[in-house]
Amino acid sequence: MKIKQYRTQFIKELAPFYDAYEAESFFYLILEDKHQLRQIDLALNHELTFEENDFVIWEELLKQLKKEVPIQYLLGKTNFYGLDFEVNENVLIPRPETEELVEWIINENAGSEKSKKIKILDIGTGSGCIAISLAKNLPNAEVFGIDVSKKAIETAKRNAITNNVDVTFMLLNILETEEFTCQFDIIVSNPPYVRNLEKEEIKKNVLDYEPHLALFVEDNDPLVFYRKIASLAHKSLRENGKLYFEINQYLGKEMFELLENMKFKDIELRKDIYDNDRMTSCKVSKTL
């Protein structure tokens, strides 16, 4: 069968589950991953065909997509900030909003003197996407990443090797941590922040397949991780060190107040590309 003909069939079969644009994007992701063919290749050669045994792979992937398994998990990888990352059921799939957080940190620190080393800690590192992207783009940075999940740490370590960066990953439960053994210039975290009451807004492909440990918090204390990390930041950030968070879009005001009440300074709340409150930064002051 001609590949172009199968593409039409593939998109049609996914029509009850995805819009045509998304289904087509899946088709080309699989085509490149499994056959090393790009969209331009198919456009230039309409006569390209699949062999009979190729359909075994495609039909299995189609079956999983109909169950709304994320395409990133099916292919075992995704792209984040221009880098390739392994992803699996033990780690969240990185989002474009998190790329914005990484961009913010890089823009504020890329101009620092090359001779001046900075220490960065990524809390709840997951796949390592934040830590690794920062290490790749800030050559003067010594980067650390911690997570409560052993399998997430294992995944992050493999991603660091793939992307040829040196990041120290450690297994640690942040809620049980009293202090760190060294001082940092930057602490960044994208901790669990989705309240249980918001589950009805979550798509099936996220709710059924991505790790709940990295997603959800209890409704009665949705800022539990932020409060703990901010408390540790007071002890572990150097004077004028910066704390960056990705946050729940519905809790921007509450986050600002939390940081204000905890005596941080230069607090900034930023919106993401979708105009949602999504990121904060602030500085710690040792001379209050």
- pLDDT digits over 187-196, tens only? 999 999 999 9
pLDDT at 185: 96
pLDDT at 223: 97
Confidence of residue 113 (pLDDT cuts 50, 70, 90): low
E runs forming strands in the chain: 77-80, 83-86, 118-123, 141-147, 167-171, 184-189, 194-195, 216-217, 237-246, 265-271, 277-283
If asked whether residues 105 and 10 sit together in one domain, one would say no
Instruction: Identify whether 233 is part of a domain.
Output: yes
pLDDT at 115: 61
Q: How far apart are CA 11 and CA 20, in angstroms?
A: 6
pLDDT at 16: 94
If asked whether residues 277 and 251 sit together in one domain, one would say yes
Report whether pLDDT(102) > 70: yes
If asked whether residues 52 and 136 sit together in one domain, one would say no
**DSSP characters for 42-110?**
HHH-TT-B--TTHHHHHHHHHHHHHTT--HHHHHTEEEETTEEEE--TTSPPP-HHHHHHHHHHHHHHT
Q: How far apart are CA 154 and CA 151, in angstroms?
A: 5
pLDDT one-digit tens code per residue, 38-89: 999 999 998 899 988 888 999 999 999 999 999 999 999 999 999 999 999 9
If asked whether residues 182 and 61 sit together in one domain, one would say no
Give the pLDDT mean for 99-113. 89
pLDDT at 112: 63
Give the pLDDT mean for 156-166. 98
Give the pLDDT mean for 163-167. 98
pLDDT at 54: 87
pLDDT one-digit tens code per residue, 194-250: 999 998 899 888 999 999 999 999 999 999 999 999 999 999 999 889 999 999 999
pLDDT at 226: 97
Confidence of residue 273 (pLDDT cuts 50, 70, 90): very high
Q: Are 41 and 50 in contact (CB under 8 A)?
A: no
Report whether pLDDT(152) > 70: yes
Instruction: Identify whether 72 is part of a domain.
Output: no
Instruction: Identify whether 288 is part of a domain.
Output: no
Q: How far apart are CA 125 and CA 235, in angstroms?
A: 20
Strands 83-86 and 118-123 come out as unpaired
If asked whether residues 104 and 239 sit together in one domain, one would say yes
Mean of all residue pLDDT scores within the chain: 94
Confidence of residue 287 (pLDDT cuts 50, 70, 90): low
If asked whether residues 103 and 26 sit together in one domain, one would say no
If asked whether residues 117 and 253 sit together in one domain, one would say yes
Confidence of residue 127 (pLDDT cuts 50, 70, 90): very high
Report whether pLDDT(288) > 60: no
If asked whether residues 142 and 110 sit together in one domain, one would say yes
Q: How many domains does the chain have?
A: 2
| Residue finishing a domain among 48, 67, 86 | 67
Helices (H), 142-203: 150-162
Domain hosting residue 252, numbered range? 77-283
Confidence of residue 140 (pLDDT cuts 50, 70, 90): very high
If asked whether residues 98 and 233 sit together in one domain, one would say yes
Three-state secondary-structure class, residue 143 = strand
Question: How far is CA 146 from its chain centroid?
Answer: 14
Instruction: Identify whether 136 is part of a domain.
Output: yes
Q: How far apart are CA 165 and CA 150, in angstroms?
A: 20
**Is the pTM of the predicted complex or chain greater than 0.75?**
yes
